[in-house]
Structure 1
Amino acid sequence: MANTFRLAGVLRLRKLTEDRAKLRLAGAGAELDGALERAGGLAAYVESSPEGAGTSASLAALAASRAAAGAMYSVLESEVRLKAQTVDEARAALQQARSEAMGLEKLQERHDRAAALAEGRTEQAALDEVASSAWHRTSGRTAGP
């Protein structure tokens, strides 16, 4: 169509922003999954460790191992909370990008409908002109002497 949508460049930019937000959400989700997997692996390790120790050295080693695992687990829990917050922020950014793009998409759809309607009217006016001039030519010949 000759009548192009003037905000097409802005719409393309909004679509790129939306795509970037989708990628950010996917990356944040993958990082969260990895952190959850590490936390689950650590929890399984702690659960599978022996309950009792035969010697005082093994008891000290078991206590040190559990203390280290507990500290690591709290670090992993903090990491999971941060990753979950990042996922939430990425999801909100994607929703914002989608709504901005959808507004422009609706404007483009209205523009396209209006342009198609105007083009149809122009074509109909041209067809009416051709038909009218043909009718005047033929009616002028039959009305003659």
Structure 2
Amino acid sequence: MSTAFPLAGLLRYRRLREEQAAGSLAGARQRVQDVQDRQTDERQRLQGSPVTIDSPASMQAVAAARAASRALLTELEAADARSREDAQQAQLDYNSARAQTLGLEKLADRHADSATAEELRGEQLILDELTSSSWKDRNGGARP
């Protein structure tokens, strides 16, 4: 019977941390995509709006709308930069968690290989003993 991997609890914890980091990374990437989509939508909306200026009041309204749109795009660019930074940090966190998990997984694999080899050695000893006993029984206990 093989022995349990002594660091199994730590391995479970590291896998959980890796899954959480992967979830955070996915969320950060989605936020980046959402901000980019919003920027694209806003730019398309601004390009597609016809401008008809037929009075000083409409000119002032167009100027105010453009200023507001420019401010909105500036805010979206800042949000895009923040979301990209967050995504980069989430990627670093995930990479770190994955590296820690990978190291322990390699140890667990080596432990499993070692335990399997030990089990096979034990089985081989039993088979050798059975073969030896059978030979002794057939030949009256004399060794060749």
Give the TM-score taking structure 1 as reference length: 0.91
Q: What letter matches 2:26 in structure 1?
A: A
Deviates more, 1:79-88 or 1:46-55: 46-55
Equivalences for residues 115-134 of structure 1 within 5 A: 115-134=115-134
SS of residue matched to 1:4: coil
Distance 1:45 1:66 in 2: 12
Provide structure 1 residue ranges, at least 5 long, that are not aligned to the other structure.
none
Deviation at 1:32, TM superposition (A): 1.1
Distance change >3 Å, CA 61–CA 114, structure 1 → 2: same
Distance change >3 Å, CA 141–CA 64, structure 1 → 2: closer
Cα RMSD (Å) of the superposition?
A: 1.5
Q: Which residue of 2 is the match for residue 98 of structure 1?
A: 98
Q: Deviations over 1:95-126 (max 9, x none)?
A: 11111111111111111111111111111111
Q: Which residue of 1 is the match for residue 58 of structure 2?
A: 58
Distance 1:140 1:41 in 2: 94
Percent identical among aligned pairs is 36
SS of residue matched to 2:2: coil
Deviates more, 1:54-63 or 1:129-138: 129-138
Give the TM-score taking structure 2 as reference length: 0.92
Deviation at 1:20, TM superposition (A): 0.7
Distance 1:20 1:32 in 2: 18
Query: How many residues are paired up?
Result: 142
Distance 2:134 2:47 in 1: 94
Q: Which residue of 1 is the match for residue 81 of structure 2?
A: 81
Q: What letter matches 1:107 in structure 2?
A: L
Deviates more, 1:130-139 or 1:79-88: 130-139
Provide structure 2 residue ranges, at least 5 long, that are not aligned to the other structure.
none
